[in-house]
A = this chain, B = another copy of it.
């Protein structure tokens, strides 16, 4: 019940309602939702950070590691592999001794930068709100 009144709804919300209805219509299998499969990867804790680093300029494996000191080699290798598989970055091997490998954003990877910057900008702008809310919550008895 309580159908949704779509008038007076902000644009983003309306869009989300539409999306959700479409998903639900096609017997929405959340674990099969393609958008979710993509969003999941972005939420990988390391993925966005690596993309931001590669947005500066192409990096070699160990340069990325230096830029993100607290990533383990294991996860860095995996993150880079996943990003390459998704076509977001390219991997170029130079046959020097020892061989060096350069990772760089593809056009697809570049195209992620716009929405990513939007999100970061939002996080920056809303940071005071969020930190305030956290402090208030922690000060209350629920903490």
Contact = CB atoms under 8 A, between A and B. Distances in A.
Interface of A: 2, 4, 10-13, 15-17, 19-20, 30-31, 34-36, 38-40, 42-45, 47-49, 52-53, 55-57, 68-70, 84-88, 108, 110-124, 126-127, 129-134, 136-138
Rank and list the top 5 A-B pairs by shortest CB-CB distance, nearest first: A87-B133, A43-B43, A12-B113, A38-B123, A85-B137
Contacts of A57: 2, 4
A134 B45 contact: no
Nearest to A85: B137
Contacts of A122: 111-112, 114-115
Contact of A30 (B15, B49, B55, B131): B49
